[in-house]
Amino acid sequence: MTGRRTSTTDRKAAAEPVDQLPAVVRCSWVGLADAEYQRYHDEEWGVPVGDDRALFEKMVLEGFQSGLSWLTILRKRQSFRDAFDGFAPERIARYGERDVARLMADAGIVRNRAKIEATIANARAFLALSEHESFAGLLWRIAREDRPAGTGAIVYSPADVPAASAASNRIAKTLKARGFRFVGPTTMYAFMQSVGMVNDHIHACHRHAACQKLQRAFKPPVHRGDIGKTS
């Protein structure tokens, strides 16, 4: 049995050094050489999230990130999950001063009393809101009030990314009115980027088109206030 004849083109391809192969293009984040950060960029950032509890965790972590780098939070994320009972709102809502002291002594997380106390308050606000409406449904409805899914200004460089938006301002205002803390417009915009409510991967990034497709296909949970409405 004879094998396929090796062409000149095949021989050239086989001999081509690996370092000459096209590099994967990613967003130009500071610290993206970190393997865990790359995984987060490639697998999580910009992918739509529709689960109430997953959104609650993201919101809390974005609040803790305020004033710090996201890489710092990412490296501590499992420690945060362990310390905050897997971000179960019904458990966090019962935390008292002893739990605050425990968390303040935990070197695995960001030990900021105001943010810890805000997390407890946010868990209670989350449970109160959930008695009447879907957390995810509410946030996604506000996020999509201005534009259809997967549309909006294309980001060609980091300079094109805003610090906040009209939607993040509305989300911040809505949540603050319901008792949430550390949910300012800038924090909420970072939250929106993370959970796929906007696509701020730069156009050249290998994840831009993929996230755009996911966002266009994503069907968010129905906001209870919209049930029964006709289009």
Q: Which of 40, 95, 140, 189 is catalytic?
A: 40
CA-to-CA distance for 231 and 221, rounded, in angstroms? 17
- Identify the residue whose tokens are 């996201």: 70
SS3 per-residue string spanning 82-102: HHCHHHCHHHHCCCCHHHHHH
Letter string b/e over residues 147-183, b meaning 16 or more CB atoms within 10 A of that residue's CB = eebbebeebeeeeeeeebbebbbbbbebbeebebbbb
- Distance between CA atoms of residues 106 and 154, nearest Å: 41
Amino acid at 218: F
* Tokens coding 65: 């990130």
Catalytic residue among 37, 57, 62, 133: 62
Strands (E), the chain: none
For residue 39, give both structure tokens: 């995984």
Residue 43 annotated as catalytic: no
What is the residue type of 17? P
**Separation between Cα atoms, residue 47 and residue 177, nearest integer Å:** 27
62 catalytic? Reply is yes
* Residue 95: active-site member: no
Please check whether residue 149 is in contact with residue 129, taking contact to mean a CB–CB distance below 8 angstroms.
no
| Residue with token string 């690996």 | 18
Q: How far apart are CA 219 and CA 45, in angstroms?
A: 18
- As annotated, the active-site residues are 40, 62, 70
